[in-house]
């Protein structure tokens, strides 16, 4: 994350080399859980690789950590004057799961006895949930010595999550040193719209910063402005550039942002004043969009009902703008490539999740709602569509991607994912371990009223990821060009054989566009297999309506058919349980079927009208 090159730097480790082998670790509590190096990009793109010490294993085990991690020797024998230790730190925990305690020690030896006998120069219990913070400590008293800096994670209460440390620097500060830490600019916009370019700036020097001169340049034009600020020493603030980013035509701009002056003069260290390769695109039109939510789960995981409830909440609340997939681990529904691919993003905790493969979220209904609202905002550069034809059980899937901008260095791939609802099994592997049984952990979508484990006979699994077509990272050559022009369309054909053990009427095709440069999902869409089938494959008739919706006493199903057919009408609740099933034979022409809702509880249901080969489903709300 860090990009400084200060001449008076005595030690710097931002772990961008993905190596902490020169640090010494002491696991004093002896639980074999100690400091490790993890890629936290999915948690926050600024962090990259950071040192992490956990206080839980994401399942039922809470740790009582007493973990030391000791730096390599830091030579201050020739140092004079002011010396500071800077570092980034924080907690991965949400509210009530963030109160990690840590201490910082500075010693002239690195053995455990010395560390345990030392007095901490700093001790803190993190006050802010899901925080990324910076701290600066005075090491001037250690000038002329060789020292070791130690971080200790300890005395953390149960039910916390993790502590991370990054960007460790020992230095003599300059009088003037502004760091341009981060630039935020929306990637996609319609033409002739003002877009704010925001900057995060840290004062790494000895004096308050009162003015900054900042230039954003797109390779052709400068946009220079002097901005009045108040940045105390060691503080970081967010500021907006006064000149918005706005283009009237369809363009892709590669923007560089530079701090060109601090307090009216050239900065003492100009190497940390620049952020490059900030891409901005205008679109000829907006596109339908959906958020891909992949939830990591397993029947063995007692906290995973929380993930299932959160995923179902999003699926039912945003059925047209969210693609929800349960990715199973170590149970009969596991797809190994999918399991390992998602673990490479989330870190393998359970339950866990990824939104568009950019953001890792610990599942809860509120966290999923917030993450969905964040990800669904903004525009997408591509419209995705999927259609299919079938011969027997062999499915041919045609994926379509149409772009509405110019992209000069494209590296995209299409991927298709098969999803199935209503999955059941009889073996013990389908029993769901349930730590919410009995209600001691509070309400959890009805799981508090179910046993631990929930027997397979009582479990119906929805949103199950069944197959990756094209692999976790997408199909090679599915978007076979590196330069895309506004209006370009690409098609790719995937093939899939529906297993005899699966129910076509419960299956969906998700289509995703993946940016291979970052691994992020740019856009997603999904259709049921039956809706994706071409017109010649559909037996279901036209003009299907369900009314009134919401319903109170009854609802009607209306549809037309051009020839006599047998129909099954099924109503299921949001846990996949069948609450009504009716058979209707030899229906022809215009039909209206009335169904009483007196046996239904108030809530949401799925009404499915099916012939032997295809079906139509629609959501129904019952208000009794």
Lowest model confidence (mean pLDDT) among 62-66, 139-143, 300-304: 62-66
Average pLDDT over residues 151-170: 84
The Cα–Cα gap between 218 and 344 comes to 35
Residue 411 CB neighbours (<10 A): 13
More confident residue, 120 or 598: 120
Mean per-residue pLDDT over the chain, rounded: 90
- Determine contact, residues 267/259, Cβ cutoff 8 Å: yes
Q: Which residue has the higher pLDDT, 221 or 587?
A: 221
Beta bridge partners of 17: none
More confident residue, 562 or 177: 177
- pLDDT, tens digit, 9 for 90 and up, residues 31-76: 888 899 887 766 666 667 788 887 664 444 567 789 999 999 999 9
Question: CA-CA distance, 346 to 350, in Å (whole number)?
Answer: 9
Residues in the chain: 624
Secondary structure, 3-state, 102-136: EEEEEECCCCHHHHHHCCCCEEEECCCCCCCEEEE
Reply yes or no on whether the pLDDT at 619 is more than 90: no
pLDDT in tens, 179-199: 999 999 999 999 999 999 999
Q: Which residue in 306, 315, 365, 302 sits closest to 574, CA to CA? A: 315
Secondary structure class of 437 (helix, strand, coil): helix
| 534 or 174, higher pLDDT | 174
- Which of 155-169, 466-480, 520-534 has the weakest average pLDDT? 155-169
Distance CA 104, CA 122 (A): 5
Residue 309: pLDDT above 90? yes
The 3-state secondary structure of 440-481, one letter per residue: CCCCCCCHHHCCCCECHHHCCECCEEEEEECCCCCECCCCCC
* Whole-angstrom distance, CA of residue 520 vs CA of residue 412: 10
C-alpha angle with apex 148: 144 to 151, nearest 5 degrees? 140
Q: Which of 239-243, 357-361, 506-510 has the lowest mean pLDDT?
A: 357-361
pLDDT over threshold 90, residue 450: yes
* Most confident range, picked from 156-160, 204-208, 215-219, 578-582: 215-219
SS3 of residue 345 by DSSP: helix
d(CA 432, CA 550): 33
The residues facing 25 across adjacent strands are 69
Q: Indicate the SS3 state at residue 168.
A: strand
> Among 277-281, 293-297, 467-471, 611-615, which stretch is predicted with the lowest mean pLDDT?
611-615
CA 433 from centroid of its chain's CA atoms: 25
Which distant-in-sequence residues (6+ apart) come within 8 Å of 84 by Cβ?
136, 137, 138, 139, 140, 170, 171, 172, 173
pLDDT above 60 for 325: yes
Statement: residue 4 has pLDDT above 60: no
Q: Is the pLDDT of residue 93 over 70?
A: no
First vs last C-alpha separation in the chain? 55
Give 304 or 65, the one with higher predicted confidence: 304
pLDDT tens digits along 234-246:
899 999 999 999 9
Cα radius of gyration (the chain):
28
80-111 burial code (b ≥16 CB/10 A, e <16): eeebbbbbbbbbbbeeebbbbbbbbbbbeebe
What is the structure's pLDDT at 538? 47
Going along the chain from its start, the domains and CATH numbers come out as: 9-171 (2.60.120.200), 178-282 (2.60.40.10), 291-532 (no CATH), 539-622 (2.60.40.3080)
pLDDT at 545: 82
Report residue 332 as tokens: 């009969």
> In angstroms, rounded to a whole number, what is the distance separating the alpha carbons of residues 421 and 463?
5
> Residue holding tokens 């918005």?
244
Look-up of token digits 């020292």: 147
Q: Report which of residues 570 and 407 the model is more confident about.
A: 407
Given a contact cutoff of 8 angstroms between Cβ atoms, the answer to whether 100 and 156 are in contact is yes
Q: What is the pLDDT of residue 43?
A: 61
The percent of residues in the chain predicted with pLDDT above 90, rounded, is 70
Are 186 and 195 in contact, with CB atoms under 8 Å apart?
yes
Mean pLDDT (whole number) for 497-512: 96
According to DSSP, the β-strands at 188-189 and 274-282 are: parallel
Q: What pLDDT digit, counting tens, does each position of 565-603 carry?
A: 888 898 987 666 789 999 999 888 888 999 999 889 988
Spatial separation of the C-alpha atoms in residues 166 and 37, rounded to whole Å: 10
Q: In which band, very low, low, confident or very high, does the pLDDT at 100 lie, cut at 50, 70 and 90?
A: confident
pTM, to two decimals:
0.74
User: What is the mean pLDDT of the segment spanning 346-363?
Assistant: 89
Q: How confident is the model at residue 158 (pLDDT cuts 50, 70, 90)?
A: low
Phi/psi-derived region of residue 129, left when phi > 0, alpha when psi is between -120 and 50, beta in every other case: beta
pLDDT range class, residue 348, cuts 50, 70, 90? low
Please tell me which residue, 378 or 62, carries the higher pLDDT value: 378
Residue 3 scores a pLDDT above 70: no
Please, are residues 518 and 541 in contact by the beta-carbon 8 Å criterion? Answer: no
Tokens 């020797």 found at? 73
How many CB atoms lie under 10 A from the CB of residue 224? Answer: 14
**Strand, helix or coil at 272?**
helix
For residue 103, how far is the Cα from the chain centroid?
A: 31
Q: How far apart are CA 286 and CA 305, in angstroms?
A: 36
Q: What is the Cα–Cα distance from 560 to 534, expressed in whole angstroms?
A: 19
Which neighbouring-strand residues pair with 378? none
Distance CA 356, CA 265 (A): 43
Section 255-270 average pLDDT: 97
């Amino acid at each position: 994350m860090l990009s400084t090159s200060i001449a008076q730097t005595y030690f710097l480790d931002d772990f961008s080399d993905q190596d902490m082998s020169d640090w010494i670790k002491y696991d004093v509590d002896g639980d074999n859980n100690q400091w490790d190096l993890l890629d936290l990009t999915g948690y926050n793109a600024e962090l990259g690789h950071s040192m992490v010490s956990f206080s839980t294993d994401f399942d039922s085990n809470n740790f009582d950590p007493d973990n030391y991690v000791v730096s390599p020797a830091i030579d201050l024998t020739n140092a004079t004057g002011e010396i500071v230790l800077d570092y980034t730190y924080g907690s991965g925990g949400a509210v009530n799961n963030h109160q990690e305690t840590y201490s910082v020690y500075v010693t002239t030896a690195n053995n455990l006895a010395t560390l345990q006998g030392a007095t901490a120069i700093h001790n803190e219990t993190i006050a802010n949930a899901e925080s990324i913070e910076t701290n600066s400590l005075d090491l001037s008293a250690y000038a002329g010595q060789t020292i070791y800096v130690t971080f200790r994670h300890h005395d953390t209460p149960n039910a916390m999550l993790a502590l991370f440390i990054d960007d460790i620097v020992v230095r003599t500060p300059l009088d003037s040193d502004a760091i341009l830490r981060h630039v935020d600019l929306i990637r996609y916009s319609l033409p002739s719209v003002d877009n704010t370019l925001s900057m995060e700036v840290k004062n790494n020097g000895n004096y308050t910063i009162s003015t900054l001169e900042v230039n954003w340049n797109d390779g052709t034009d400068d946009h220079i402005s002097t901005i009045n600020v108040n940045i105390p020493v060691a503080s970081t603030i967010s500021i907006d550039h006064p000149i918005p980013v706005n283009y009237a035509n369809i363009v892709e701009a590669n923007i560089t942002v530079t701090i060109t002056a601090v307090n009216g003069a050239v900065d003492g260290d100009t190497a940390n004043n620049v952020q490059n390769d900030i891409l901005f695109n205008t679109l000829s039109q907006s596109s339908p969009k959906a958020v891909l939510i992949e939830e990591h789960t397993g029947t063995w995981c007692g906290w995973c009902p929380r993930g299932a409830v959160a995923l179902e909440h999003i699926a039912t609340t945003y059925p047209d703008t969210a693609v929800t997939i349960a990715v199973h681990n170590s149970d009969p529904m596991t797809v190994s490539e999918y399991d390992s691919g998602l673990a490479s993003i989330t870190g393998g905790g359970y339950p866990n999740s990824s939104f568009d493969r950019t953001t890792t979220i610990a599942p809860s209904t509120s966290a999923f709602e917030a993450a969905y609202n964040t990800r669904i905002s903004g525009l997408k550069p591509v419209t995705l569509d999927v259609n299919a034809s079938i011969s027997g059980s062999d499915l041919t899937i045609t994926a379509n991607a149409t772009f509405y901008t110019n992209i000069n260095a494209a590296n995209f791939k299409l991927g298709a994912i098969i999803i199935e609802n209503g999955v059941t099994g009889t073996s013990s592997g389908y029993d769901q371990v349930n730590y919410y049984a009995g209600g001691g952990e509070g309400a959890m979508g009805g799981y508090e009223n179910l046993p631990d484990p929930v027997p397979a006979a009582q479990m119906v699994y929805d949103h199950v990821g069944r197959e990756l077509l094209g692999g976790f990272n997408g199909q090679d050559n599915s978007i076979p060009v590196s330069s895309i022009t506004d209006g370009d369309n690409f098609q790719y054909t995937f093939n899939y054989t529906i297993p005899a053990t699966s129910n076509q009427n419960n299956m969906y095709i998700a289509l995703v566009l993946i940016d291979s440069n970052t691994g992020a999902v740019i856009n997603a869409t999904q259709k049921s297999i039956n809706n994706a089938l071409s017109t010649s494959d559909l037996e279901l008739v036209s003009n299907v309506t369900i009314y009134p919706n919401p319903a109170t006493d009854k609802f009607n199903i209306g549809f037309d058919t051009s020839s006599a057919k047998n129909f099954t009408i099924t109503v299921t609740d949001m846990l996949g349980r069948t609450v009504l099933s009716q058979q209707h034979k030899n229906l022809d022409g215009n039909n209206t079927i009335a169904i009483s809702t007196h046996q239904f509880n108030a809530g949401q249901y799925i009404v499915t009208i099916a012939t032997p080969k295809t079906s139509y489903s629609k959501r129904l709300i019952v208000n009794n």
